Structure 1
Amino acid sequence: MVAPLEHNTKCCPIGDLNAKTSTLQDFISPERFVLDMFHLNDEDTLKYFYNYDTVIANGISLERKSESTCRVNPYGHRLFDMCKKMNLFIANSRKGNDNNVGRRTCNDASIVDYLNVSSDLFPLIKYFEVDEFNPILSDVHTKICFNIYTEQIIREQNIETSQRQTVKWCSSKGDKFVDYVKDNQSDQLKEIGNVLDNLLIAENVDQADLDDVTSNICKIFNDSSKIIFRTKRVGFFHKKQNKRLWFTDICKNKRNYFIKQNKDTNFQKI
């Protein structure tokens, strides 16, 4: 997960991360001369390194607050690493009733529970609060409450349906099938016979000519079999309708990629 995000991808990881972060900076503040030195001055690169400008533009303070006096632990440094690489920002002490406060979330001593968001998501957070401790919900952790408001995106979904029909050969009707072809398809058979005679004496025979003859023969057999043997419906299929409008093809592909990576990681551990 600790890797730069793809373009326009937004995420919002939340939970007990066991990370103590004090009030250290959770974003990269690059030196412009360093970027110029390594020729990192294309638009996408600059947008990545100066992503914190979006936070400022949304009226969010870059400075973090914390009521905890705990020092930064290894998990805290890992959280900072994730935030800096993925352009995530800790919402604690920056939104809602916790703005400029940084309430403790564990044992009334430390902050280890976080809401981390992409910079563009800050305007969507209309409510954020570190709630009072409730022993029914947790033994030591305090609940984090927040609301994210987004516009509903309605995607048109076309349900694809198909009804397959098949013809099953019946030996007892074999003679009837042959007689029907002779009596009702004689003109087509003669025409096919003439085409085959011409192909036999032709100097050059194209594959397309053979395909046409084969298609015509198949059509005679199929049309006749449907009349003699009748068709039978073998299934009614429809494309499953996705009721979760947010679950787009992009989201599905990313989920499959995550599952694959997770399986590969577990396999390597074994």
Structure 2
Amino acid sequence: MFIKHRVNCDDKKNNAGNRLIDFCKFNDLFICNGRTGHDKSVGKLTCKNASVVDYVLCSSKLVKNIDDFEILDFNSLLSDVHCPISFTLHFDDVLNTTISCNNPTKMEEGINKWKAEKAVDFVNNIDDDSIKYITDLINNCNDPLELNIDELIDKCCNILLHAAKNSLGINIKKRNVNNKSVASNKPWFDLNCKKARKTYRQCKVQYRRRRNEYFYNKYKESEKAYKYTMNKSIKTYKYDVRKKLETMKSKNPRDYWKLLKGNGNRKPKGKIPLDTFFNFYKDLNASVDDGITDLHEGHDGPINEFFNSDITKD
């Protein structure tokens, strides 16, 4: 729901704020802060916990498509002073998109996350006839070695998946078919950074689920540790590269210049066939018959023979 009156914890206004309001009035735009989602009737501060300088603007036609809006807690990994803003849009109409042949994608069907309130629906959607068929198949078998265990497990999994789809719903995801490994542009991001990032993400999820002081402090400590680990890795990487350059410059100049040039990610130059050059200059130097046979024809004045003489070294 989008309320008309906007709430704002920052009660100060300057010339920049007046210009922003005039801009919204002239262009039929609305400020989302303090009007919708988790920030409705709150107007949370966005900068240094002292002012609101980060806004989300939307048109009057887009207001109905806003599902959620929230000012998240400050994160030193994302900004120095600004809080991140999260908002969600929904669209009922399905847009026709053209999939490029150079980057083919594959549509995959997935099941939504488990919800405790859907437990009764999940149990009711389990197919009793399929369970009875599997039970009878096991009970009527005299020799257990004759049973195909893999087939029975697949049938049990299909029963649970069918119940989950009917109770939890499904979602469609796009996946890139070309599973080519992308070269990392952060060579300094080592194993220690990955471990620190994993710990940070775990603490972040824990704090979102249990918003209390203990998990908040744990989340902030992991954030500081993650940032410290990255800065340390960057500093170590730069030091190693500098030492490597100093050594290679005197002992291995060829590899030294290769390293300075980079990994060769340059755009390929166009290769023009030699015949194309030959035909171009051949046509360029070809004589053109424009119908003039005598340049002196119709010229009554004196003729300077110096310009008509042959060009020599003298």
Please state which band the TM-score falls in when normalised by the shorter chain.
0.3 to 0.5
Task: Give the TM-score, by structure 1 length.
Answer: 0.35
